[in-house]
Every structure is written in C-alpha cells, then in structure tokens.
Amino acid sequence: MRKPKKLLNNPIDVCREQLEGLIAACGGSLQKIDGISAVVRAGLRDEQVLVLTGGGSGHEPMFAGYVGDGLADAAALGDIFTSPAPNVIMDTVKSANRGKGALFIYGNYAGDNMNFDIAAELLEEEGIPTRTVRVNDDMASAPAHRMQDRRGVAGDMMVLKIAGAAGRHSRELDEVCRLAAKANDNTRTIGVALSPCSLPQTGEFNFDIPEDEFELGMGIHGEPGVRRQKMVPADQLVTELVDSLYGDLALATGDEICLLVNNLGASTYSELLIANRKVHQLLAERGIRIHDTLIGSYCTSQEMSGYSITFFKLDDELKSLYDAPCHSFAWRK
C-alpha cells in the first residue's frame, strides 16, 4: 500500500524540530519554555490574564502559530495529535503567569479535557486561578442538541483572536473568559476530507478513502464524519456546507460573519478559492455580509487533503475585538 512520503529526520523529533523552526521564524517574539514543548510570547505585561492554548501538534500552524501580540500568550503542546501532559500545561502557566490567572482555550477532545482539567486542579491548589473554554465548533461531530460533545477544529483560532484581544483590554479573568465563550458560541465549522492523514511516527496513512470518494465532516485527526460519497462538483458540495453552517448558526438576512476557508493540509489554493467564490455568492444571495475572509492553512491535519469552512458570527462587541491588531507567525492584522 502507498505510504506517506516526507522529508524528516528522526520521526520522534518531529514536534521538537518543527517548534524550533517556528521559533526561529519569529525573530524573538516567541520564546521556548525550557525542558518542555511549549512557547510563550515576548512582551507579556504585568497583571494580565494569561490566555493559554494548546493541544496536540500536527495541526500546524495551530497552536503555537497563534501565540503573539493580540492572540494567545502561550501554548502547551503534545506529540502529534496527542494532548499535552498536565505538567507541560502547569509549567507553561507557572513560567508565564502574571498574577491574574490563566484562561485555557483548546479543542473539545477527551484527552485535552482530562489533561487540562488535571492541570487546572493542581494549579488551583497552588493558588493560581484558571478558567476554561472548550472550543466545539465542528458541527459535523454531533447534532445541535449535543453541542457539548462537538469537537474543536479551525474555529479555535477565532476564539483565540477574541480572547487575545479581550486579554489586552481587560485584566479580569472572568471577563476574558466570558468573551471567549461568546466567540465559541458564535463559531461553526464543517469540513470535508479527500485523502487521509498520517502520523510521522507510524509512517502509515491512518485510514483509506477510495480514490473517487470524499468524507463529509471528517475530523482533523481523521475521525469519521457524517458520510462518505462519490466526488461531486465543488459548487454542489460548498452549497451543502454553507446550508449546514447557515442553519446551525441560525443566520438571518443582515447578519455579519467572518469567513475562514481552511486548508486541511494538501489542498491547493485553487480549490480553496473556488470554494470561497461560491460561499461569497451564496451568502450575498441571502443578505449575509462577510466582514473578513481568511483563506489558507490555519488548522491542518498533516497531508490530509480537503478543507473546512468556518463562519464566525459577529456582533458589535465581537467585531471590535476581532478588528483589533494581532501579530503572530500565522496571523497578522
């Protein structure tokens, strides 16, 4: 069977080496935390809420790519597709803490939930307050009445954007948490995968997708989606994705959103732009304004091909925070 083909050194060094490369690209604005797989941004202020994100590696540039001014303050990272261990999270918080506690923002996965919860309990015992927002934007992973079961995918970055901006304005943990949770409530994503991802350590594709099929709603670690079907023209698929997002977010004429067309790894800009063209057409027909459009690789899944579409519904409060400047490896505005 065909195997993934990658230019690597030792597979067990992949996470460390890619993080070193990221830090080297950031010109001193991103600092490594000694001894663990974690980064913190330079220029943390005294008395600020710490916005901490994290999760498995392998979704580059998520999560470390969103550590920077106006975004996350630090990221704690695990191995490829594996949540970070509690001590990694704790050490990250302790080395970056500015006395106002930490807000944890991460995707809703069993491993992340448990490891961040353990870290939160141990930090609370040491007198460091924490709050948590579990991003659950992946609408394909559970129906609306089980929203708390939904996974977090590319919408993570919208929640981090709002939390990062809020953390620059407010010094209160609960207020930053409220705004991040509100951003999460207003974010929906659905994706489609055309080919599988792999783990560098195993050197094997994680699953098969027949050449003439795609999977709707597949997760960013290859979790099964809603269904597999024969390939269809892009416009037909995008129309279905937009209909789903529109309905789930209960959009109405006059609403305003930010749009993210996210490459899962191996799709071309051509495919992303063709999708974007159709999304804009469909939303214009329905009277939905698009405040900002992001297109590119924001939350990937190794060499999986396919893309996800995220809608982030704005109101005045979220819009002003979204419009605040930010500067990180993966997002600058």
Partner 1 sequence: MNATEMSSLLRFVANKMIASEPELTRLDMAVGDGDHGVGMQRGFTAVEKLLSQAPGQAEDIGVLLTRVGTELMSSMGGASGAIFGTLFRAGGKSLTGETVLTTPLLSRFLSSGLDAVCKRGGAKPGDKTMVDALAAAAAVSQSLGSEPLYAALPKIARAAGQGAEGTKQMVAAFGRAKALGERSIGHPDPGAVSMSLILSFMAEGIKRHEPVAL
Q: Catalytic residues, which ones?
A: 59, 221
Q: 42, 114, 147, 232: which one contacts partner 1 (CB under 8 A)?
A: 114
Adjacent-strand bridge partners of 191 = 308
Q: Which of residues 250-309 bind partner 1 (CB under 8 A)?
A: none
Q: Nearest distance from residue 207's CB to partner 1, in Å?
A: 7
Which region, judged by CB under 8 A, interacts with partner 1, from 18-26, 77-85, 254-262, 269-277?
Answer: 77-85
**In contact, 278 and 245? CB cutoff 8 Å:** no
CA distance 241 to 264: 15
Q: Which of 175, 201, 280, 323 binds partner 1 (CB under 8 A)?
A: 201
Please give the Cα distance from 234 to 322 (Å, whole number): 29
Query: What distance in Å separates the CA atoms of residue 276 and residue 195, rounded to the nearest whole number?
Result: 21
Residue 118 touching partner 1 (CB under 8 A): yes
Q: If we measure between CA atoms, which residue out of 296, 241, 237, 231 comes closest to residue 269?
A: 296
Q: Over the Cα atoms of the chain, what is R_g?
A: 19
d(CA 94, CA 92): 6
Q: Does 81 bind partner 1 (CB under 8 A)?
A: yes
Residue with smaller CB distance to partner 1, 182 or 221 = 221
Nearer to partner 1, 61 or 222 (CB): 222
Is residue 117 involved in binding partner 1 (CB under 8 A)?
yes
| Number of C-beta neighbours around residue 98 at 10 A | 15
CA angle in degrees (0–180, nearest 5) for 301-211-218: 35
Shortest spacing between CB 247 and partner 1, in angstroms: 21
C-beta closer to partner 1: residue 186 or 198 = 198
**Residues 133 to 152 in contact with partner 1, rule: CB under 8 A:** 141, 149
- Shortest reach from residue 79's CB to partner 1, in Å: 6
Binding mask 55-74 for partner 1 (x = CB under 8 A): -x------------------
Q: Hey, which residues between 215 and 254 contact partner 1 (CB under 8 A)?
A: 219, 221-225
Distance in Å, CB of 119 to partner 1, minimum: 10
Q: Does 1 bind partner 1 (CB under 8 A)?
A: no
Binding residues among 164-193 for partner 1 as defined by CB under 8 A:
none
Q: Is 195 a binder of partner 1 (CB under 8 A)?
A: no
Specify the stretch interacting with partner 1 by CB under 8 A; choose among 1-9, 161-169, 201-209, 245-253.
Answer: 201-209
- Residue 4 lies near partner 1 (rule: CB under 8 A): no
Interior/surface letters 242-275, b for 16+ CB within 10 angstroms, e for the rest: bebbbebbebeeebbbbbbbbbbbbbeeebbeeb
Rounded (10°) angle between helices 156-169 and 173-185: 150
Segments of 274-332 assigned E as strands: 289-296, 305-313
Whether residue 98 contacts residue 44, with contact meaning beta carbons closer than 8 Å, is answered with: yes
Matching residue, tokens 């999304």: 279
Select 204 or 317, whichever has its Cβ closest to partner 1: 204
Residues that bind partner 1 (CB under 8 A): 56, 78-88, 109-111, 114-115, 117-118, 141, 149, 199, 201-202, 204, 206-207, 219, 221-225
